[in-house]
Every structure is written in structure tokens, then in C-alpha cells.
A = this chain, B = another copy of it.
């Protein structure tokens, strides 16, 4: 880090994140900045991608949260993964692809078209790493649902989201925007909202976290990491 006038990180989260995934050159950043100027607002609950239909052009999430979700015939709902600022939506190598899951805005969001990485190898690499991370998050989700109990699931997911928010540079004092309801979180974790509520309460009592008015704060992320036996995803040997 070069020294800078004391201020909040001035870069948009999306650029912070993609720069963290691969060393972006000037041209890539310029392309991103240009795309970001053409941003669009999306209101909560709107679908950005619909399961079974053709995948629209790739988007970049600039602000707000979205999620991949699957609804069963009898109405049961399962969130497959969360989409946070700086994440890509609907990136796809294949011709004539059909969406394998719906992506829906969980809060009001802003998005833009993801600039083509056609002649920008650095950007292409960032996209590839982003895809690899997406896959890692799916695997982590499977492990959570298959083998962790309620408290471990919650701790593990919150830590993952925390680390992802750090990547995008939008964590301050261990706290970050968290626009989910308990019911949404429960539907991500394979729990009922009642049981999630009770478990969150004991975590509050244990001073693991504070969560109110859409802000989540992890009081001792390192301790929580140890407690849940969590291992963060590493996806490239390039950096670090």
C-alpha cells in the first residue's frame, strides 16, 4: 500500500475485488470504469437470470446483494450462493447456454454490463479466478449443509461472507452491510428461521457477533474461524 491521503478506499468495490483477483492493467481498469458509468438500478426481488432460460449478457454487481436460488415444487426454497458487490453474474464459456439457476436481487442493487475480456488478458484472468472462487463457494456450501451443525453452518457462512467483503474492500471495523432477513439466511443454511433465530441468539450471548439494522459485525473473526474449523478458499497460486 502506498501512502495516501487518509480517506475511505475511493475505488468502487467491484474494481477493488477484481484487482485483488488478478493484477489488472490500465486498460482493464479503464474498461471497468467505463462500464460502471453505465450502471442500472434493480429493485429487490427482481430476477436477473431465470432458471431454464437463455443466459443474458454477463453482468457485474456494483452494489446490493443478490443470490442464486432454487424453489421446489412445494415451495421450499434453497439459496445456492450469494452474489456480493464485485461478483460477476452469468459468466459463461458455452454457446447457447441455459441458466441452471435463477439469480434474484435480495436488496435493491446496482449492476452494469461486465466488460468483454476479449482483448484484455488480465481481465480475462480475473474473470477466470472469479469463476473458480464461485465454484469454491459452492463446494463450501455443500460441506456446510452436509456435515456441519446449525452453529457451525452459521459461523462458517458468515466468515465466508466476511472474507468476501474484505476482498471487495467494504469491511470496516469488522462490520459490513448485511441486507438479509433471518428467513433468507435460514433458507441458505438449510434451517428453519425459528431454529436459526435461536442459534443466532446464543451466538450473540457468546459475543460472537452483533447484528442489527442490516449491519453485521463479527466480534472475533479469528476466534470464530478457529471455533468452526474453517479453512478459506485459495484458488490461484499467482498472488500472495
Binding site for B on A (CB under 8 A): 52, 54, 68, 70, 72-74, 76-78, 80, 92-98, 100-101, 125, 128-129, 131-132, 135-136, 138-139, 141-143, 145-147, 187-190, 229, 233-238
Contacts and interface: CB of A to CB of B under 8 A. Distances in A.
Could you say which of A141, A143, A187 has the most chain B C-beta atoms within 10 Å of its C-beta? A143
Given A97-B235, A100-B136, A142 B141 contact: yes
Given A93-B128, A141-B142, A146-B188, 8 more contacts: A78-B142, A94-B131, A94-B236, A96-B237, A97-B235, A101-B139, A145-B146, A146-B187
A93 to B, nearest CB: 5
A229 B74 CA distance: 9
Chain copies in complex: 2
Contacts of A73: 229
Contacts of A96: 236-238
Contacts of A147: 72, 76-78, 190
Contact of A68 (B98, B139, B141): B139
A151 to B, nearest CB: 15
20 contacts: A68-B139, A72-B229, A74-B229, A76-B147, A77-B147, A78-B146, A78-B147, A92-B132, A93-B93, A94-B128, A94-B131, A94-B132, A96-B236, A96-B237, A97-B132, A98-B234, A100-B132, A100-B235, A141-B142, A145-B146
